[in-house]
Every structure is written in C-alpha cells, then in structure tokens.
Amino acid sequence: MAIITISRGSYSKGKEIAETVAQALGYECISREILNEAAGHFKIPEIKLIQALQEAPTMLDRFSFGREKFVAYITEAFLEHVHQDNVVYHGLAGHFFLKDVGHALKVRIIADIEDRVRTELDRKKISGETEPVDLGYVEKREDLGGFSRFMKKLENVMAAAGMATEGDRNDAVKIDPAKPLDPKEVIKRRDEERRQWSMALYGIDTADPSLYDLVVHIHKINVQDAANIIGHTAGLPRFQTTPESRAALDDLLVAARAKAAIVTAWPGVQITAEKGLVVVHTEATLAQESEVRRRIMEAGQGVEGVKDVRVHVHLITP
C-alpha cells in the first residue's frame, strides 16, 4: 500500500495521469475535496478561497491569522484523507505534508511549454494565433492588473522573509501591455504565480526536483506510460507501509488535528506529536502566559488521538 502525491504545472496532464493511476491501482483519487474542507473552516465558499489563492496568498491575511489557519486546515484535511493509504492526490503541495512519511511516493509531472499550449488549445478548441486566448482565468488584458498587484504584494512579503523577489530572478515573467496575450506567456505567468504562492504559504518551490522521488517528462512518455511508471514505482518495497512509516503518519495526523483546533484559540504555535503526546511551543508575554496555557490546553484536550498536551511558553517582552 502507498500514498501517491502528484504535483504538476497547468495543462501538464497531471489530472489525467492521477486518475489513470488511481483506476489502475484501485486507489481513491482526490484533489478539490481538500480545498472544500479548508473553505468550510473559513466559512466561505470554495470558489472564494480559490480566487483568494490565485490572486495572492496575502489575500488570506484578510482573515485573522488567515495564512497560518489555512495551512493548518489544509494539512488536517489532507492527512485525514490519506491516512488509510491507497490514495492518489493531485493538488496543493501534497509532497510538503508527507515529507517524512516513508510509504509516500512523491511525483512531479513536467511537460514542454509547446505541448502544454497545444493541450489547452485542443481542449478549448481555439487557435492561439487567430482567436482570443482563454486559459480559464484570463479574459482580457485588464486582468493582468490583478497579477501585477499580486506580484508587488508578494515581493514585499518575500523581501521581508529574505526570499528572492522578481528583480532577483533571471527567469522572471515579464508582461508587456503593448503586446497581445500569448498562450506561452500566460502559462509561464501561471507557473510563476503557483510557485510564488507555494513559497509564501509553505516555504517550498514546487519546481525543485529534489522534493520528489520521481519526475516524469510528458512528451515521448504519454499519459498511460506515465501511469504505468508511477504504478510500478509505487509497488516497490521501499514505498510499502511499515510500522515505522505508519507511526510517522499517525503522529503527523494527530499534530495536524491539534493545530487546527489550537490555532483558533491561540495562533502562532509550533506543534509536534508522538504516540498521542502533543507538544506545543508558542510565545507570549508574562502577563499572557497563564491565559495562553489555559486556552491551548482546553483546545487540545478534546482532539481525537490526543492523550496529553504539554505547553512550552517562551516569554517575550511586550
């Protein structure tokens, strides 16, 4: 048994590959369900959360500690779904949530830009040269203003965190408002957008091949070939569930459940779990310490799988 996560760029046939793998192995295939559950925590429609993510990760900061809560809710929802194994997941940073789980196979699907454009143009039945470009989220040139605002906001966030900004990157995508939209330009822009929100939310670059066990280039290799390769790899002994990998996944799930509950009572926490013991680290002033401990203990005690909660408050000056 294994858990398979598939990361992909837009129009790289990742969804088709994931569904083909799941069907061949008899696994469950999941993706949007995770966002739906996270949206439920925020008490907003799923489409609103998707729009917020596409515009900028900073949109989540409109909610109180929105970014931290979003990651906590997504993590819990994801781990709840994959906990029983036999799952193929394609979507938001699944490899990030399972980086320490031995029976998780982390896959990246890549494709040449020309093939990706052809895939989308075939799907939309349009010509990239003679008809308007419609890749699902760009309707007109004015829409690029939102992306420019997104880039500016995110550059400020990344600069504050010491990350590279657009001015530091040689491969940055430049948008020239005097030129008509090019499908390649739009896809590259979408890739950069996804990469940057992943950096801002999770601190990972989804395009980094070292994050994955397997990278598959869709060109000579087609969807069925890719599914066969992934299925074969998932069957290797090193990707089978062991008592150790099961325990690691159990601990991650308990920690995720605890954080999703505690972050509402007191945000700004670091949480680990081992065999039901949850350890919480946070910061507070001396005046806040007693109340912080009470809130965290109350929020954590009723969580499924939690046997005990230990709180470490690191004192800070007001």
Q: Where are the domains of the chain?
A: 3-239, 243-315
Higher pLDDT, 167 or 196: 196
The pLDDT tens digits of the residues spanning 152-177 come to 444 444 344 443 433 444 444 454 55
Q: What is the pTM of this model?
A: 0.75
pLDDT over 70 percentage in the chain: 70
Domain 3-239: CATH superfamily, name plus number: P-loop containing nucleotide triphosphate hydrolases (3.40.50.300)
Estimate the crossing angle of helix 183-202 against helix 66-82, to 10 degrees: 90
Chosen CATH of 243-315 out of 1.10.287, 1.10.155, 2.60.40, 3.30.1340? 3.30.1340
Residue 222 pLDDT > 90, yes or no? Answer: yes
pLDDT in tens, 230-269: 999 999 999 999 999 999 999 999 999 999 999 989 999 9
pLDDT in tens, 9-47: 878 899 999 999 999 999 999 886 666 666 666 565 555
Contact 206, 93 (CB under 8 A): yes
